[in-house]
Structures are given as C-alpha cells and as structure tokens.
Chain A
Amino acid sequence: MIQVQNVIRNYKTGETVVKALKGVSLDIGDGEFLSIAGPSGSGKTTLLNLIGCIDALDGGEITIEGQPVSGMDKKAKTEFRRNNLGFIFQTYNLIPVLSAFENVSFVLSILNIPEKEIEERTMRILKEVGLEGMENRRPDRLSGGQQQRIAIARALVKNPKIVLADEPTANLDSKTGEEILKLMKEMNRKYHTTFIFSTHDSMVMDYAKRLVLLHDGQIVSDERR
C-alpha cells in the first residue's frame, strides 16, 4: 500500500544542513497498526509528514496506492490528503469556536457530501469514539482525552485509507493515553484502516503490531508482532 524508497529529507537552518532522513525505505501494508518510534530528532515526524504529503522529498520516492507522491503538485496533494488521509495531532488542533459535531463534520463539508449524510456519519463516529451526547460541546468544555477522541473521529469520519498520528498520546496522562490507543486499535480492527503513529513512549510502542525504530534519520529496526 505504501512504499517508502530510499527517502532523503534535509532541513537548512542558517548555514547548517540537518539530515532528518538519510535514505529510509519501508513497505507498509493495508490495515497495519504501525508505530514509528525513536528519540527526539530521529526523524519520526518528518517521515510521517512525508507519507502525509505535507512535506517535500529531497530524494527517493514514496508511493501510496500506486501513486508516486513526488509527481503530485500542490493541488493534487491537497486533493489526495482530502480523499485518502486522516490526521491526528499531538495537540489535537481542534477549532475552539466549533462544537464537537462541527469539528468532525467540517472534514465531510469540504468533501461536498450532502448535509444529511454528513449528519449521519458524524453522529455515528462520535458515538463510536464514546462522545455520544457531547456533540454540542465546544473543546474547552471537554477533557484532553475527549478532545483527542474528537480528533480521532475527525480523522476517521471520511473513511480514509490511512490515518497518521503524530505522538497522539503525548499530551495525555498514561491512563487516558492507553484509552486512546485502545480506541485507535479498535478502529483499526473495525475499519481495516492503516494507522501509522509516531511515539517515544514505550507503553505506546507496546500497542503497535509493528514497530519501526528510527535513529538519526535511519531505520535501526523493523519488528512485526
């Protein structure tokens, strides 16, 4: 499903060139629940961003569902992300003036789905992530765990093939973090959606069915469980 082939990504900070990824190669299949782990600065987020088509490659190629990412222009990448990818962020990134329902449903609005279907799908996913009855609450009236549940619902509501989560539990206490991971795993099982998440937390790594360890921009181990 996803082929990462000899991917290179460099960042320039002033005169210094930081080699974030030094020729990373990786094959990810349908429905995997994969964790990219490693210490800070190992290139986890960079790899996620490249797979998520929100960053540009300096070398190598990433192919998703047979489509090479490097061949897409900005517009094509936007469309690709809109139709195929879901994102979960460490800081949730919810829109504070919108209710839980609106935060989830706007993803369907930009897909031009009819209003009735938007409502049905949004209510269904909110129920599945355990937020039934809270759909009218704004994020500031919800706990961190509940906010991340909205983010998961937002990522899944459009039935994407891939969900990318950058340190999804980093801002949560361990108990809530575990609940979120269980929810993600359940969604992975139920919808057969590929989940790729980054972490440096060993508890989170334990939940992964496949663990890819990055160090200094290179894969140092790739373990299936």
Chain B
Amino acid sequence: MFLVVLACKNLTRYKRRTVITAVTIAIGLMLFILIDSILIGVDRESVRNLLWYETSSVRIMATGYWEDRLMLPLDVSIDDPYAKVRLLREQGYDATPRIMFAADLILYSEDFGEDGNLPVRVTAVDTTLDNTVFRFEDTLLEGRFAESGKNELVIGSWMAEDLQAEVGYWVTLVTRGNGGFFEAMDMQIVGIVNCPNPNVNRSLLMVPIDTIADYLAMENLATEIDISLPESADVDIEAQAITRLMAESGNSATVMTWKDLAGDYLAMMQAERGGSSTMLFLVFLIAAVGISNTMLMVINERTRELGMMRALGMDDRSIHWLFMLEAGGIGLLGSSIGVALGMLANIYIVQEGLDFGFFMREMDMAYRVQGIFRGAWSLRSILTTFFSGIFLSMLVAWIPTRRAIKMDIPSCLRHQ
C-alpha cells in the first residue's frame, strides 16, 4: 500500500513531465483507436458488400470450373441448375443460378458519340431468384431492372459514367456460345445501378439468364449457383453440408465459400492486419521511448533517494515495483486520456465516416467500400489498447530501474 501511495505522490512531483509523457501516450493510443476503428469498419462493410453484391456466401461450380475460371468457360457448367436450386431451397438455402461469360462490348456512335469496343464480363441472372441471394433491389440509380426473356441490360454506375452510357442506349455483346460459335446480341441499357461495392459498380453488366441461355446454347445450364447464408451461420460448416448434399444427390460439384472466392480481398486484409500490427508496434515504440526517457530522468534525479531507501532496507523487488507503479500511473493517465479522446473522435468516424471517394473511384484497392470509410466500435480493441498502454509503460520502467539498482548504495548516496 505504501508503494502505491508513494508512486501516486511521485507522479505529482514532476507534473509537467508526467503530463507531457501522458499526452504522448494519449495521442498515440487515440490515433491507433481511430485507425483500428476505420480498418475494422471497412473490413466489416467490405465483407458485407462482397456477400451482398459479388460472391454470395457459398458458390457451387461444376468440377473443373475453378481451375479455368479466368477463361470463364461455358462448357464447364452445371447441368439442370434449377433442380439443384430446388433441392437447396428445400433444405432452407436461398440459391440462384448465374451464367458468367466474357464478351466484347460494342458501342455505337449514334448513342455514345463514337464507335468503340471493350472487353467485359457479363453476369446473366435469374430476374426472379437473384434478389433472394443478392441485394441489388435497392441500388437502382436510374431506369429499371432487366426483364425475363428480353434483350435488356443493367450497368454499374461507374462503368456507365466511364462510357457516358445512359438508359435507352443500345450496345452489342459479341461472344462465343457453348460449343465455340460466335454470337452477337443487341441489348438495350434499361437500368443503372449504384451499389456500395466499387468492384461491381466499376464492371457490372447484368442480363437476364433466359435470354442468354437462348443465345449461347446454355439452356438448362449455369456456370454457378450462388447461395446466401444468414449472418450468424458458420460458412465453412454450411459449405461442408452443401457439399454433402450435392454428393448425396449424385451431383459432382465444387463448393466454395466467399473466403475462397475473394482471395484478393482476404490477402489484402491479411497484409493490412500486418500493417495494423506494425502501426501498433510503432505507436507503442514511441510511447515506450517517451516513458523510458521520462523514467530514466526520474531515476537519475532520485538516485540518492533510491540509495536511502535501499540503505534503510527496502528490497530490490519493492524498488522495482515502486518505479513500475509510477510508470504505470503515467501509462494509466495517458491510456485514459487516449481512450477517452479516441472514443469521442470515433463517434464521428462511426456516424459520419471519412470520405475517400476521390481515391476509391480511381484506384482499385480491393476494399469493397465505395467511398466513405466508416469506423466500427470494437470494445475488445479499445480495452486491449488501454491495458497495453499501462502494461507497456510498466514494462519499460524495468530497464532503467534495474540499472539504478545495480549501482552500489554508497554511489547512490553520493550521486548529485
């Protein structure tokens, strides 16, 4: 108890120094809380946007499709997809078939001002079932969704901006059908969607699956079946259950989770976690240097006092604790201020967010967030930061104290 009282009183001895060191720690921890909050928020939103607009939770593909996925082959496809969708729905899974194919998008001068073409990836969707798995229904910026059996196309807003496309314009999709024949399909743009996933906004071309099936000889075929799962579901366990279900019904298929499908995103998240750890290390390093320097000065100024206490019989362990408690007190002060300021600033970050739209529009950063980066509350992260600040402060006091204790008592008592 005496050590705690003395440590607390000693904190008031060098008020300015205590405050400066605490503020250094506070600024570091505050910045960490904010950056960590943004990263957590962006991560959560990215995952949500991946599931809702890009990958769904689980995808079924024909065996061998994944290996050739970059070619978007039509001949490696799922037979009788609707039978499988029915089977899945009977088991409580929301599922929808899709056909993905590569095409050349031909633009005409009548609508676009000049002729041109560009390679695109087209998603053919079931106009009824797709919205039970994906969430495009609220993303319509202009026009309407494509209707079943019609030559209609919905385009992502950023792509529309880049092409200066408008609702009512005609384009032609030129591709090879199932079997290798060439096919050209005239399509009218009927809608523009602006969804929160920038990858989708940048590249989406959505057409009705039955229209495409006719053109490309894909009747009763699909390149994938997408399945959505509730947020609480364990995606790996459900993927295993779906694999078993497919096998039991005599269907050979590859079942992959969104984690497999969004490898680029997860790789970036992993790198980001590494970056986050490095940043945490740097923040703590700065705090550690600050507090270590403070404790060095404190111990240097109080060497004679240290000698007196040792002469009177205070053991090394108690002296270590005394200085560690003092450093812990500075850490507690800095952590409290840092966490309080960090949480205050985080209210704004969570509610309003930071607008990185200018940045995200031009760059593909793998984040599935369109522009505004919103933070998220993580009690665990805040508590970890708080206690780390205190613990680290105590830890770095160990070294200078140890050095002082190594000095013999007469030298301590002579110290000026």
Chain A residues near B (Cβ < 8 Å): 45, 49, 52, 54-56, 75, 78-79, 81-83, 85-87, 89, 91, 93, 95-98, 102, 105-107, 109-111, 154
Interface residues of B, CB < 8 Å — how many? Answer: 24
| Complex interface: chain B residues within 8 A of A95 (CB) | 6, 305
| Complex interface: chain B residues within 8 A of A82 (CB) | 312-315
| Complex interface: chain B residues within 8 A of A97 (CB) | 6, 9-10, 12-13
Chain B residues near A (Cβ < 8 Å): 1-2, 5-6, 9-10, 12-13, 304-305, 307-308, 310-316, 318, 408-410, 413
CB of B313 within 8 A of CB of A93, answer no
Chain B residue at minimal CB-CB distance from A83:
B313
CB of A87 within 8 A of CB of B315, answer no
Query: A49 to B314, alpha carbons, bound, how many Å?
Result: 17
**Can you identify 14 A-B contacts, CB atoms within 8 angstroms?**
A52-B311, A55-B408, A78-B313, A79-B313, A81-B312, A82-B313, A82-B314, A83-B313, A87-B312, A98-B6, A102-B5, A106-B6, A110-B313, A110-B318
A21 CB, nearest partner CB in chain B, Å: 13
Chain B residue at minimal CB-CB distance from A115:
B1
B306 CB, nearest partner CB in chain A, Å: 10
CB of B311 within 8 A of CB of A81, answer yes
The number of A-B residue pairs with CB atoms under 8 Å apart is 69
| Complex interface: chain A residues within 8 A of B307 (CB) | 93
Query: A79 to B314, alpha carbons, bound, how many Å?
Result: 8
Query: A85 to B312, alpha carbons, bound, how many Å?
Result: 7
| Complex interface: chain B residues within 8 A of A105 (CB) | 2
| Complex interface: chain B residues within 8 A of A109 (CB) | 1-2
CB of A110 within 8 A of CB of B312, answer yes
| Complex interface: chain A residues within 8 A of B318 (CB) | 110
| Complex interface: chain A residues within 8 A of B304 (CB) | 91, 93
Query: A102 to B410, alpha carbons, bound, how many Å?
Result: 24
A164 CB, nearest partner CB in chain B, Å: 9
B6 CB, nearest partner CB in chain A, Å: 7
Among all A-B residue pairs, the 8 with the closest Cβ atoms: A82-B313, A109-B2, A93-B308, A54-B409, A97-B9, A81-B313, A87-B311, A49-B410
Query: A116 to B325, alpha carbons, bound, how many Å?
Result: 25
CB of B13 within 8 A of CB of A78, answer no
| Complex interface: chain A residues within 8 A of B310 (CB) | 54, 78
Query: A110 to B312, alpha carbons, bound, how many Å?
Result: 9
CB of A106 within 8 A of CB of B13, answer no
| Complex interface: chain B residues within 8 A of A93 (CB) | 304-305, 307-308, 413
B125 CB, nearest partner CB in chain A, Å: 74
A94 CB, nearest partner CB in chain B, Å: 8
Apart from A52-B311, A87-B312, A93-B413: 19 A-B pairs, beta carbons within 8 A? A49-B410, A54-B311, A54-B408, A54-B413, A55-B408, A55-B409, A56-B408, A78-B313, A79-B315, A81-B313, A82-B312, A93-B304, A97-B12, A98-B6, A102-B5, A105-B2, A110-B314, A111-B313, A154-B312
